Structure 1
């Protein structure tokens, strides 16, 4: 099982109704967008503590999860902070570049601060929902929200094929490792290329097997969700 799936099943709120979780998530997002930066920072700490308690994980692991999107967020914030102007007096700190001055804008600094904490608070709320909502409850939630049945079936099949893809990739990689396929850098590249080509073939074979199984069971085009 995927790491996210394992965490959602070990959550203290695993059996709580998905509609209640979604309603609470909407409230969390409203607060994440409505509070001032100081309130958003405190809200971020509260959501992080709640998530760690529900999932029975340590704060360092949670910080590693936040570190994944933090790099993209910092790049976006930096582009907001720096600005170009003809007048150096309009910038707090500036460096001349031709006829322009590039530096830190006071208004951009304010906007960047608001964007940073708002994004982190919203991200913490989204983490809370994703990590506390097992996939079967997600399907139930989509049905209750009247999401088109075709889209729900596509999500279900995509989730199923993620496991098939990972299972096949692990089996091929294990076989290659036992044959010392990754001992050298050139050998690793060759093994990786073989893994990708074999993985495509194996997944198509598994798909054909699933289609045959559905035909045997008189599949009529609808899954019983």
Structure 2
């Protein structure tokens, strides 16, 4: 974590519309801290941590990916942003908007604990949009904070249809692990989700052929859903 607030470099630029200015205004509060950034003359890419999220809606994503593009000739700018639950997902969202792979350094507070975690994060970071993000829940009230993410395959011929990513943070080492599980049905994924919400989830079983995934789309994340509301019938 840093104490640095974002500097979007908008001096001498005007917004292309009021909506772009209003969006950046949201991130100028003291609660938004820079985790990673990469800037060129025409574009700025940020991963921000919302320190206020832990006191907001339970389970809400705590990361914000922000892209600002500048028109150097017209001296205008446009801004776009997304709420995302995992750092690698925020990086992937920015990569899809032109940020070079590897351009944003991983901060010390987001270091993977092992090779398996780093390899899985690399696949999330660098791949396309085979999966849609259904929901996520960040639980930082546990002894070891965790974030669970549910994904669904866009192509029914791309099994397993549902996947779960689970990030677990180790307060002692300041590192985290990321694991992946595959579920053939919504019911199976929802059963695991419910058990995880009760802190009784079994270990995730990785998909048989993980080389092509998991990957998530840039669709907005669904609101965080507790076990009683994320049901197979929804």
Which has the higher relative contact order, 1 or 2, with Cα contacts under 8 A spaced 6 or more apart? 1
Whose radius of gyration is greater, 1 or 2? 1
TM-score range with shorter-chain normalisation?
Answer: under 0.3
The structure richer in helix per residue is: 1
TM-score by length of 1: 0.24
TM-score by length of 2: 0.24
The structure richer in strand per residue is: 2
